[in-house]
Amino acid sequence: MEKTVCELFAGVGGFRLGLERAAQDWITVWLSQWEPGKTKQYAHECYVSHWGDIDEYTGKDIASINKTDIPDHNLLVGGFPCQDYSVARPLTDISGIEGKKGVLWWQIRDTLLAKRAPFVLLENVDRLLKSPASQRGRDFGVMLACFADLGYSVEWRVVNAADYGAGQRRRRVFIFAYSNDTVYANRFVADAVGYMEELASDIMTNIGFFAQTFPVERNVVVKTEVLKYHDILATSEKFAFAFENAGYMHDGVVYTGKVVPVLEEPIPLVYMLERDVDEKYYLVGDRLEKFEYLKGSKKVLRKSKDGHEYIFSEGAIAFPDPINLPARTMLTSESSVNRSSHVIRDPQTGMLRLITPLEAERIQGFEDDWTNTGMPEKFRYFCMGNALVVPMVTRMGHTLNEIFHNE
């Protein structure tokens, strides 16, 4: 099978970079990267600076694109935000469903509907499996119902990048979907009638996409649930389920279990640090005092919208961040004055400082100065906070190489 890729919500190209590190014959035939509310599309410009552009539509809002115009491809990839995936019945179509405007999952679904890519690889924050709080598991249930309705089976895994040798403790859920008429799908279910729970367990711990890519211990307790995937509206309104960190869905039946990773040695933060860092990254005076306050424990009297007073409290976190461990999860707000920004003691000077944009790129597994393409420094951090851990994509790319070879 030809290794053609469509990359939605492409950011600065983490999926493409990771796949191309796995094999040079991965060919990106189309991409979409558009940041709403921004006059300058810095991430798109960064992407294009590395690979060139494909057409005049790659930097436009994906919602404005006619999905049938997207070139044919065999792998659809994308990292997209956790949003409200609830659906409603449109007044103009009693048999259809309508997702909330601006929710990017429906752009993925529409692309699948138009192009029928045989394989799909997506990334999201791990809370997707538990959202929304008022109906735990509904959003992921809606996604699975959509996949089932389109004739796909799905595997998923929550992966902490540091568990598999990376330099960041970043937990993300990866979703691998494949058409039920692929060789890969049929090698599982052809002889599994009556043994689906056993098969699901084997997929999660041994023979599945994620088990091959990110090894786990072999024992897992499997829970099952049936999706009414022919009625996605009913799924949206009523479905709730406690998804575990691994799972498999086939023909509308969900199998899930909690797996334990076979740990690999992570990269400590100290190995990703620059030398002779510019003094602007160092914390002194008021800036240092603000971070000391934000990182420390506190109890603050607050007032709710209805006038009720309450005590907000939070415990202290490591200050400075230990550089003998992997970095914490990097957010889009990295380097701003907030509790989540990394603060390290520079091993060269002994002074406290922020991490640099280049160090942020190393933490995510990009090449040095990948985002040094004309965007403001603040947006370089933003892009890295939004990005994938590239070595995790490369690992998945090696597994995909084998799957595509056999199709």
In tens, the pLDDT along 110-138 reads: 999 999 999 999 999 999 999 888 889 98
The pLDDT confidence band at residue 83, using thresholds 50, 70 and 90, is low
Round to whole Å and give the CA distance between 362 and 357.
9
pLDDT at 95: 37
Q: Which two tokens stand for residue 334?
A: 């990295």
**Contact between 52 and 27 (Cβ < 8 Å):** no
- The verdict on residue 99 lying in a domain is yes
End-to-end CA distance of the chain: give it in Å, rounded: 6
Domain containing residue 293: 269-374
- The verdict on residue 282 lying in a domain is yes
Both 159 and 308 in one domain: the answer is no
Round to whole Å and give the CA distance between 114 and 116.
6
Contacts 24+ apart (CB under 8 A), 347-351: 347/270, 347/273, 347/323, 348/275, 348/276, 348/277, 349/282, 351/282, 351/283
b/e code 117-153 from CB counts within 10 Å (16+ = b):
bbbbbbbbbbebbbbeeebbbbbbbbbbbbbbbbebb
Both 241 and 300 in one domain: the answer is no
- The verdict on residue 380 lying in a domain is no
287-304 mean pLDDT: 93
Q: How many CA atoms lie within 13 A of 204 on its CB side?
A: 30
Q: Tens digits of per-residue pLDDT, 65-78?
A: 999 999 999 999 99
**Contact between 216 and 207 (Cβ < 8 Å):** no
The pLDDT confidence band at residue 88, using thresholds 50, 70 and 90, is low
Both 280 and 259 in one domain: the answer is no
Both 317 and 395 in one domain: the answer is no
Both 327 and 187 in one domain: the answer is no
Q: Which two tokens stand for residue 406?
A: 């056999």
More confidently predicted of 240 and 231: 240
Per the annotation, the verdict on 82 as an active-site residue is yes
Round to whole Å and give the CA distance between 269 and 355.
10
Q: Tens digits of per-residue pLDDT, 132-163?
A: 888 899 889 999 999 999 999 999 999 999 99
Both 184 and 317 in one domain: the answer is no
**Contact between 192 and 199 (Cβ < 8 Å):** yes
In CATH, what number is assigned to the domain containing residue 77? Answer: 3.40.50.150
Round to whole Å and give the CA distance between 334 and 188.
43
- Catalytic residue, candidates 6, 46, 82, 383: 82
Domain count, the chain: 2
b/e code 65-77 from CB counts within 10 Å (16+ = b):
beeeebeebbbbb
Both 277 and 350 in one domain: the answer is yes
Round to whole Å and give the CA distance between 199 and 249.
11
pLDDT at 123: 96
Both 276 and 396 in one domain: the answer is no
Both 307 and 354 in one domain: the answer is yes
Residue 92, pLDDT above cutoff 70: no
Round to whole Å and give the CA distance between 212 and 205.
8
Both 82 and 113 in one domain: the answer is yes
Q: Tens digits of per-residue pLDDT, 268-284?
A: 999 999 999 999 999 99
Round to whole Å and give the CA distance between 22 and 89.
43
pTM of the model: 0.93
Residue type, 286: D
Exposed/middle/buried for 15, CB within 10 Å: 0-12, 13-18, 19+?
Answer: buried
- The verdict on residue 78 lying in a domain is yes
pLDDT at 93: 45
The pLDDT confidence band at residue 256, using thresholds 50, 70 and 90, is very high
**Contact between 137 and 241 (Cβ < 8 Å):** yes
